[in-house]
Structure 1
Amino acid sequence: MASDSLRFYGAIYVALLVAATLKVVFERSFDYWIAAGSILVLASLKTLLIVGYFQHLRWERRSLSGLMALALTLFALLMVAASFSVT
């Protein structure tokens, strides 16, 4: 049982390592906007892996996950509003 858990978290770690390596590959290989979009997608996937598995939100109640999604949405809206107030 402990070996399965170690193998599972090891696989998540390897996936995060591959995503970090792909970030460098995208940055050096593609045009700026394609690389930026690809890196944002990779960052989102890495965030989902970390939050879902290492912070155990995958096994929490759906109401808690919904609360986290609401907080993330409000944070994004605040960032957009702040960017308009700066310019």
Structure 2
Amino acid sequence: MARTKLYTGIYVALFVIATLQVGVEQIGLLESSYMLALGLITVFSLIKAVVVAGYFQHLVWEPRSVTYVLLLGFVGFLALTVAASYSIL
């Protein structure tokens, strides 16, 4: 059975966080303090990614081993991205 209240709450939370991300740009933080704005938007994006992966991809209800495999793939992705960024310089 679908958890309608849970998914509605998650949708509202994602909507609020997306609105906060737009608000960071609208109040002029990008012009005045670029690093602060970049940090805030990155943190908001990370929160949204964890919520989407946890609930909409059902990782919350999966065995921990599935989550660890996903995290292992993510660490590999980060390693390859960092290695590629050093090869460009």
Relative to the length of structure 2, the TM-score reads 0.89
Matches within 5 A, 1:1-87: 5-29=3-27, 30=29, 31-87=33-89
Unaligned runs of 5+ in 1: none
The size of the alignment, in residue pairs, is 85
Higher helix share: 1
Question: RMSD over aligned Cα, in angstroms?
Answer: 1.2
Unaligned runs of 5+ in 2: none
- The one-letter code sitting in structure 2 at the alignment partner of 1:26 is V
Deviation >6 Å, runs of 4+: none
